[in-house]
Chain A
Amino acid sequence: DVKVTQSSRYLVKRTGEKVFLECVQDMDHENMFWYRQDPGLGLRLIYFSYDVKMKEKGDIPEGYSVSREKKERFSLILESASTNQTSMYLCASSTPGLADAYEQYFGPGTRLTVT
């Protein structure tokens, strides 16, 4: 089974702090994604990566950056946390090519509160 893990389930940070959210997958997937989930808005893509050191902006990249130094690890960085970044953050991975592989596998999520 594919396993996607995230470094924290719950996180509380102060405004202005630099925040790191880590995601690790164990299935050698090329693609990794960071989403933000807010009630009534569904999932919104922040960034995705299709290879090591490669990244592309999603729909809401402002205020975020990412790092992918190793294939299995994809980090989301909030350079200076703000209260409007309080949200649930979901990491996902997938592998391209085959129809079955279009499925995205998700981590448990990190609920971030910025005070």
Chain B
Amino acid sequence: AQTVTQSQPEMSVQEAETVTLSCTYDTSESDYYLFWYKQPPSRQMILVIRQEAYKQQNATENRFSVNFQKAAKSFSLKISDSQLGDAAMYFCAYRSAWGNSNYQLIWGAGTKLIIKP
């Protein structure tokens, strides 16, 4: 069974600096998708960025980028020029590309990101 591990329960960063959130996963599959979701305080969970395992190029979305290391099964999120609005819980999630299990996401425990003004 697949698992997702976020080893940092909480991270803090000074406004305008860069922070990296870690995520590792375990799978025997070769084709899958990885996601970072953001849950701001008292607001809805939203997708930040996704990565297809068959793509070697790391995904980027404005100030958000990932470092996808398939062999190491690592999928970290880098937030550049941190802003106060980036304060949130961040969840890493895995999705198989195969079979009936492809409806489900496997979630990490989350990392609380604190932005210091």
Contact = CB atoms under 8 A, between A and B. Distances in A.
Contacts of A92: 45
B109 A40 contact: yes
Interface of A: 4, 31, 33, 40-45, 48, 50, 56, 58, 90, 92, 94, 96, 99, 102-104, 106-109
B84 interface: no
B33 interface: yes
Contacts, number: 48
A44 B4 CA distance: 12
Interface string B60-91: 00000000000000000000000000000001
B50 A48 contact: no
B103 A48 contact: yes
Contacts of A96: 102-103
B46 A106 contact: yes
Interface of B: 4, 6, 9, 33, 35, 43-47, 50, 52, 91, 95, 102-105, 107-110
A34 to B, nearest CB: 12
Smallest CB-CB A-B distances: 10 pairs: A106-B45, A42-B107, A43-B107, A42-B109, A103-B47, A106-B44, A108-B44, A42-B110, A42-B108, A40-B109
Given A99-B33, A102-B33, A102-B50, A41 B103 contact: no
A50 B104 CA distance: 11
B64 to A, nearest CB: 15
A56 B103 CA distance: 10
